[in-house]
Structure 1
Amino acid sequence: MEMHDLCAIAAREPRCVLATAVKVEGHAYRKQGVSMLLTEEGVMYGSISPGCLESDLQARVDRVLDTQQLEFVEYDMRPEDDLSWGETIGCGGLIIVLLEPVCAELRSILSQMHTYFQSGSAVELTRSFYDQYTRIHYVIQLAEGAERQTSLYPSPAVKGASLNPINTMITDDIPRLSLVVIQSSEADDLRSNSGESDLQRDGLTEVEKWDIPLQISAKYVPKPRLIIIGAENDVIPVARLGKSAGFRVVVADWRETLCNAERFPGVEFVRGFPSEIIPVLDIQSGDYIVLMSHQFPREREFLELLEDRNYAYLGIMGSRTRTARLLNDLPPLKQLHSPVGLTIGADGPEEIAISIAAELIACKRAAVAAERRNVQRGIAHATDGHRASGR
């Protein structure tokens, strides 16, 4: 579950806690920067582990909500003995999790992040910690050019502080987490004058021993859109799996009786013929498109209108012969996958939907890997253009 989803869920959950893995060392199920939501009623959205940590995190929710205080939790699964974690822990790393009550300030931040995501904008969220990590300051800004910025409560002055980047990491799981540490010659200025925190041990807080930076910035990108042209019955499992795979699904069709929330729960609709829906869709370079309307003239019209636009993926449902006719006399189309889906011997709507979802995931991961390495990286059956092989 992406931050895009968590922001939407936080808006409807009156009492919940955001859990974020702020430090990961060694092998772990998810990457540094991943988040999940835990509610007072015991509902969990997302995950940080394969199930090893979530029950313990849930047990801390009431205290975090009642005290409205941050809490850091250490899970050190590097020892090889099974006494603490059991034989099925499934990972052997160190994970530090930050628990934050979703109250007025953080709730507002998550709401604004969701607005940015819905408009297709990437967002950078910065957390700055003060007073021995007991106070937090949030700032969000648009990741591209930082055109707008929102800051909740004024940032305390930190004497003698300088910001030095110490690590930048791009993960397959969006977000992308970069860490910045504040180095101060007057570290005591950051300590509370009211006595030692409960986190202090031997003059240092546990958080300081974990080397958690005083400032953490995470870049989150919106979900890629999956635009499905057509709303027949075989589209239903594709839309469902597309949602599960982290896409923002849009179903477009000119038949209004087929485009409804009962058939496609949780998706967006654009109704009309190709010439009507193209301006509304406003197709962007990060969009994934699948044609499966089974209406030859409408799909031909759509492809003609798509000619000068950029997108990440174009899949066409149908046989090699039908696709060749569909593409006849058209200029070469970018990022074309036909027949759509990975070659897994699929038979029937559900298995075909699985093959399509698998190819979409492969292409999405390839794009992340290419950005991370700044080189183009291919994936078999996913980035080789017009394929003649069957499903």
Structure 2
Amino acid sequence: MKEITDILQAYDQAEREGRRCALATVVHVEGSSYRRPGARMLVTEDGRLTGAISGGCLEGDALRKALFAIQLQTSKLVTYDTTNEDDLRFGVQLGCNGVVHILFEPVKDGHPISLLREASRNRSGAALVTLFSRQRTAEQPGTSLLYTGGRVTATLPDALCQTILSDVVCGHGVSHFSHYGPHEAFIEFLVPPPALVIAGAGNDVLPLVDIASLLGWHLTIVDGRPHYADKARFPKADRVIVARPDQVLPQLDDDQQRLFLLMTHNYQYDLALLKAILPGRFPYIGILGPRTRLDRMLEDVGYALDEAQRASIHGPVGLDIGAETPAEIAVSIVAGIRAFLSGHTGRQLKDNLHPIHHRPWTAQVQD
């Protein structure tokens, strides 16, 4: 979602300057590729690029294709095939043994940016549908439908819209492909960025905020010390709250998927906040410090935690990467949270026998 946020900001800037834009979207991949379906890049008519559709090898040629789409105001599907290892003919030298299909859409009257903007505002997630065809003579509808919590925004005929919606609902939150006549649809489920509450506003939180904000996470800093919990100290945080532990939850939005990180270095503050948030059954509670401190804290909660509550607690928090400095510890913590959210272990990629990118849609593609 961070990439979409950056694209929206870049589009707003281009619109203020009166510059036309095109949106490039990776809609299908066969074999190996640096980016997967759903990767996007905004191109302005003066050549500015926001986002990425490859590791940098495609961007030069994609710029030319995007400018062509802007000039003609017509969507176009472009295929980059490197399976024959003769990628020099593209002038891009992909270095990946795969086929990448990229759709270039001129932005007309705010569309399709308006669908991305609406999706980014929804904290419960959204399904975004991009229609394309690998038949050269077929129309390229592009980013055509958004489904958010029962609300539908679409630029498609009603009959086709209803057919696609049934596939969206049956998709159970897993991105996949479907076919509708000459067109394929990439049905992409967008997950909102993690909402992380960091209890603590000490100096060791500064690099943590820097790294998490770079990933586009929604960050709230809470601390009882006003000279620490200061927005000027944490300009990249979305909110900074000065509050006692019992005052924290009432000041937060109702979001059951919210994540918590306790690192005030004040035992009593962390304990009181842990007692306050445990009944809410939030999915992730990270606790900084040694295991002996955590064991004492769990005893001082005053009652035995059930299995689900114990599973939500991650302490000592972070991955074992040998971190020593505050910046290294921040990397460890953020990596640990990211692994938890994606259901991965955080082990070395060289020990992984499966593809790097998860491909839940592979079995559903009908080529």
Counterpart CA distance in 1 for 2:330 and 2:178 is 43
Q: 1:269 to 1:322 in 2, by over 3 A?
A: same
Counterpart CA distance in 1 for 2:50 and 2:317 is 31
- 1:75 touches 1:96 (CA, 8 Å); kept in 2? yes
- 1:25 touches 1:94 (CA, 8 Å); kept in 2? yes
Segment of structure 1 superposing worse, 231-240 or 125-134: 125-134
- 2:24 touches 2:66 (CA, 8 Å); kept in 1? no
Residue type of the alignment partner of 2:153? T
Residue type of the alignment partner of 2:212? G
CA shift for structure 1 position 17: 2.4
Counterpart of 2:145 (choices 136, 139, 142) is 139
- Quote the residue 2:71 is aligned against: 66
Work out whether 1:109 is the aligned partner of 2:80.
no
- 1:4 touches 1:222 (CA, 8 Å); kept in 2? no
Q: 1:139 to 1:322 in 2, by over 3 A?
A: same
- 1:1-391 → structure 2 map (5 Å cutoff): 1-14=2-15, 15-81=20-86, 83-84=88-89, 89-104=94-109, 105-116=111-122, 120-128=123-131, 132-136=138-142, 138-142=144-148, 146-152=149-155, 155=157, 176-183=174-181, 213=184, 215-271=185-241, 272-282=243-253, 284-330=255-301, 331-332=304-305, 333-334=309-310, 335-366=312-343
Tell me, which stretches of 5 or more residues in structure 2 are unaligned? 348-367
- 1:165 touches 1:179 (CA, 8 Å); kept in 2? no
Paired-residue identity, %:
31
CA shift for structure 1 position 74: 1.1
CA shift for structure 1 position 356: 1.0
Name the structure with the higher helix share.
2
Tell me, which stretches of 5 or more residues in structure 1 are unaligned? 184-207, 370-377, 381-391
CA shift for structure 1 position 75: 0.8
CA shift for structure 1 position 82: 5.6
Report the 3-state secondary structure (helix = DSSP H, G, I; strand = E; otherwise coil) of the residue aligned with 2:333: helix
Counterpart CA distance in 2 for 1:87 and 1:149 is 38
Counterpart CA distance in 2 for 1:94 and 1:247 is 32
- 1:283 touches 1:311 (CA, 8 Å); kept in 2? no
CA-based RMSD of the aligned residues comes to 3.3
CA shift for structure 1 position 22: 0.9
Counterpart CA distance in 2 for 1:379 and 1:147 is 35
- 1:7 touches 1:114 (CA, 8 Å); kept in 2? no
Which runs of at least 4 in structure 1 moved beyond 4 Å after TM superposition? 85-88, 128-131, 134-137, 161-166
TM-score when normalising by structure 2: 0.77
Counterpart CA distance in 1 for 2:102 and 2:34 is 14
- 1:226 touches 1:247 (CA, 8 Å); kept in 2? yes
